[in-house]
Amino acid sequence: MILQQLVNGVALGCTYALIALGYTMVYGIISLINFAHGEIFMAGAFAGLLLVAYGKLNLFLALAGAMLVSVLLGIGVEFVAYRPLRRASRLSALISAIGVSIFLSTLAMLLFGANARGFPEGTFPSRQIDIFGAQISSLQLLIIVTAGVLMLALELVVKKTRIGKAMRAASEDYTAAALMGINVNLVVTFTFALGSALAAAGGVLVGVLFNAVSFNMGLHAGIKAFAAAVLGGIGSIPGAVLGGIVLGVAEISGVALGYSSWRDAIAFAILVLVLLVRPTGLLGKRIDRKV
């Protein structure tokens, strides 16, 4: 029973983590809370749905296609709404991000209607697998494995490639990185692309898991994922993964204990409590105040 709930929680947490990674990477480099990130996630879910339903692609190809669509969208949003505000106050960029979010969710409502849509029957064979007495659905396994693979790939990109090194440099000190000849604008674009790809994957997986894709799914998931990023320590990549999984497990445990109507409060109560004890999150760096 406990193992069962743990798996449920980890599967949910993995989707939060996939979205949270985008928040945390962007924040780490340009200190922007990218409120439109939830809509990128939603756009990815819709792209995946359309590719499966009308493109007749199998789920994994659709996943790749959705990631591509979201990457283009994420880069486009950054270019139009955030790049001109790079030197402006951070709150202006935040409002711009909120504007993008309202724009994209309304656009999705106009294009795809106000009702939630489901993936076609048999998109992914749903089967119950019995592991140590816990009933685990093949969907959950799909989510955990896909998320794991993507996070591993991200880790490799950030740690082993040249652009990953540039990302780490820019997140440590944006100005110094620029002075060292790193094309920081390219780094920012690349970061948005990576984050959007992961969010799109999260979107498709959530869409398949709950069999529902709707225009307003971005807002809610976005807030939760942002909470996960902050819980883990915003700016920290392992922190986002940890934060997502902790929130997912906590929420599912709350529901399992019979507090399902308190579900949303549980995640935030944990967040607030953790921040009071560790003001920079679970894995966040200590910020030294300088004069």
Can you tell me whether residue 160 is helix, strand or coil? helix
Using CB under 8 A, which residues numbered 32 to 61 contact other proteins?
33
Would you count residue 255 as binding other proteins (CB under 8 A)? no
Q: Does 93 bind other proteins (CB under 8 A)?
A: yes
Distance CA 136, CA 142 (A): 11
| Burial of 160 (C-beta count, 10 Å sphere; 0-12/13-18/19+) | exposed
Mark the segment that binds other proteins (CB under 8 A) among 57-65, 199-207, 247-255, 271-279: 271-279
Candidates 4-12, 89-97, 181-189, 201-209: pick the segment binding other proteins (CB under 8 A). 89-97
Residue 91 found at the interface with other proteins (CB under 8 A)? yes
Instruction: Tell me if 75 contacts other proteins by CB under 8 A.
Output: no
Strand partners, 131: 134
Max Cα distance, the chain (Å): 61
In the bound complex, what is the minimum distance in angstroms from residue 80's beta carbon to other proteins? 7
Tell me if 223 contacts other proteins by CB under 8 A.
yes
Cβ-proximal residues to 200 (8 Å cutoff; 6+ apart), any chain? 40, 41, 43, 44, 45, 47, 48, 63, 66, 67, 69, 70, 71
111 sits near other proteins (criterion: CB under 8 A): no
Burial of 165: CB neighbours in 10 Å, binned 0-12, 13-18, 19+:
middle
CB of 213 to other proteins, least distance (A): 20
Size of the site for other proteins (CB under 8 A): 48
Contact segment (CB under 8 A) with other proteins among 65-73, 91-99, 191-199, 248-256 equals 91-99
**Other beta carbons less than 10 A from residue 234's beta carbon:** 25
Write the DSSP symbol of residue 128: E
The nearer residue to other proteins, 190 or 226, going by C-beta atoms, is: 226
* Residue ranges in contact with other proteins by CB under 8 A: 27, 31, 33, 80-81, 84-85, 88-89, 91-96, 98-104, 106-107, 110, 219, 223, 226-227, 230, 234, 261-265, 268-269, 271-272, 275-276, 279-281, 287, 289, 291
